[in-house]
Amino acid sequence: MSRIAYVNGRYVPHADAAVHVEDRGYQFADGVYEVVLVYNGRMVDEIPHLDRLDRSLGELRIPSPMSRPALRSVMRELLRRNRIHTGLIYMQVTRGVARRDHPFPKNAQPSLVMTAKRIALPTGAAVENGVRVISIPDIRWERCDIKTVALLPNVLGKQQAKEAGAYEAWQVDRDGYVTEGTSTNAWIVTKDGELVTRNANQAILNGITRLTLLKLAERENLRLVERGFTIEEAKRAREAFISSATSFVTPVTQIDDAVIGNGKAGSVGLGLRRAYLDYAEGEGRT
Ligand code: PLP
């Protein structure tokens, strides 16, 4: 079965999906995006993702390409046409096509592109063994709270991780504090059992998975603190993990050359992963 994409009002074969060369997303990275997890046929946290899309658009003063009900029906139609049971929806909105010039164009129509793909959930040993992250300097701009398609530092960081045989790179700010991964939020469990993730401000993307995990952690009565932590504190932690719509909760068992805990996934991370998947199965469907 061939994949179908949505491009500005049309469902087209994925191979033919294209926007104009003067789309401002292509020219200036002048656009925003969202990635929504589809789990067992249902979208997880659909409304929070669409709220964040609206916020990102608002921050960049890009008009919405269509009403929310229309957007939700495109998402459903795309899943139907691609027969996705478990996978990801990617949507991108740019300021549209205009003659290349930096200021906002007067009459551009925002472009909306949507794709969907299947994913397989990692299980068993892949989860148990966890992943390695490396630490790198955070070289991004000061509005990391906006989910823009301007991802070059993230791309370079992820490539550096890959070349180092790691799964992710944790970005570290000038004061030595971890901001987040290149496409994930960062968490640790300290030696005395405190669950820590950085407070959300303009230095990080406030992950929708992060927000859901905060709720689940509270429900499970975990000792939770939103604060920065240094890479040294992380290396001494009992557990570490990353979160995103794509990786849910993925245990981290090595940071640079430091082994975390006993080198296997920790119980808090595994518990939250289970809780998140249960949530995705049930009440996370919106
Ligand atoms: N941080 C960054 C930089 C990201 O790109 C992402 C996801 O793409 C996340 C965090 C996690 O966000 P979410 O949980 O909404 O997927």
Q: Which atom of ligand 1 is nearest to the CA of 52?
A: 15
Smallest CA-to-CA distance from 166 within 90, 229, 242 is with 242
Three-class DSSP category at 170: strand
- Residue 201 Cα to ligand 1 midpoint, Å, equals 14
**CB 183 less than 6 A from any atom of ligand 1:** yes
CATH of residue 150's domain is: 3.20.10.10
Q: With 90 as the cut, is the pLDDT of residue 121 above it?
A: no
Quick one: which H or E segment has residue 216?
A: helix 208-219
How many domains in the chain?
2
pLDDT value at residue 32: 99
119: left (phi over 0), alpha (psi -120 to 50) or beta: beta
- Interstrand relation of 111-118 and 87-94 (parallel, antiparallel or unpaired): antiparallel
User: Are residue 130 and residue 216 in the same domain, yes or no?
Assistant: yes
**CB 261 less than 6 A from any atom of ligand 1:** no
User: Are residue 213 and residue 108 in the same domain, yes or no?
Assistant: no
Q: Which of 66, 89, 118 is the last residue of a domain?
A: 118
267 domain-assigned: yes
Q: How far apart are CA 173 and CA 203, in angstroms?
A: 9
User: Are residue 87 and residue 134 in the same domain, yes or no?
Assistant: no
User: Are residue 131 and residue 264 in the same domain, yes or no?
Assistant: yes
User: Are residue 136 and residue 217 in the same domain, yes or no?
Assistant: yes
User: Are residue 167 and residue 240 in the same domain, yes or no?
Assistant: yes
pLDDT tens digits along 204-213: 999 999 999 9
pLDDT value at residue 124: 86
Distances from the Cα of 205 to the Cα of 38, 69, 93, angstroms? 20, 25, 17
Q: Give the largest CA-CA distance in the chain.
A: 58
265 domain-assigned: yes
Structure tokens at 229: 């932590």
Q: With 70 as the cut, is the pLDDT of residue 286 above it?
A: no
pLDDT tens digits along 37-58: 999 999 999 999 999 999 999 9
190 domain-assigned: yes
Catalytic residues: 147
- Residue 74 Cα to ligand 1 midpoint, Å, equals 23
- In terms of residue numbers, what domain contains 142? 124-281
Q: How many CB atoms lie within 10 A of CB 178?
A: 28
In this structure, are residues 148 and 31 in contact, taking their beta carbons and an 8 Å threshold? yes
Which among 47, 183, 272 is the best mutation to test ligand 1's pocket, defined by most ligand atoms within 8 Å of the CB?
A: 183
Q: How far apart are CA 53 and CA 46, in angstroms?
A: 11
286 domain-assigned: no
pLDDT value at residue 122: 83
**CB 140 less than 6 A from any atom of ligand 1:** no
pLDDT tens digits along 176-225: 999 999 999 999 999 999 999 999 999 999 999 999 999 999 999 999 99
**φ, ψ dihedrals at 191, nearest 5°:** -60, -30
- Residue 242 Cα to ligand 1 midpoint, Å, equals 10
Nearest residue (CA) to ligand 1, atom 12: 207
Nearest residue (CA) to ligand 1, atom 8: 183
Q: Which of 118, 140, 164 is the last residue of a domain?
A: 118
pLDDT tens digits along 125-150: 889 999 999 999 999 999 999 999 99
**CB 36 less than 6 A from any atom of ligand 1:** no
User: Are residue 169 and residue 260 in the same domain, yes or no?
Assistant: yes
**CB 210 less than 6 A from any atom of ligand 1:** yes
Q: How far apart are CA 257 and CA 176, in angstroms?
A: 17
Q: With 80 as the cut, is the pLDDT of residue 254 above it?
A: yes
Q: With 80 as the cut, is the pLDDT of residue 163 above it?
A: yes
Q: How far apart are CA 38 and CA 46, in angstroms?
A: 9
In this structure, are residues 169 and 219 in contact, taking their beta carbons and an 8 Å threshold? no
Which among 154, 211, 244, 249 is the best mutation to test ligand 1's pocket, defined by most ligand atoms within 8 Å of the CB?
A: 244
User: Are residue 40 and residue 157 in the same domain, yes or no?
Assistant: no
**CB 56 less than 6 A from any atom of ligand 1:** no
Quick one: which H or E segment has residue 70?
A: helix 68-82
42 domain-assigned: yes
pLDDT value at residue 238: 98
User: Are residue 130 and residue 78 in the same domain, yes or no?
Assistant: no
User: Are residue 190 and residue 93 in the same domain, yes or no?
Assistant: no
Q: Which of 90, 118, 146 is the last residue of a domain?
A: 118
User: Are residue 107 and residue 214 in the same domain, yes or no?
Assistant: no
Structure tokens at 70: 């229309």
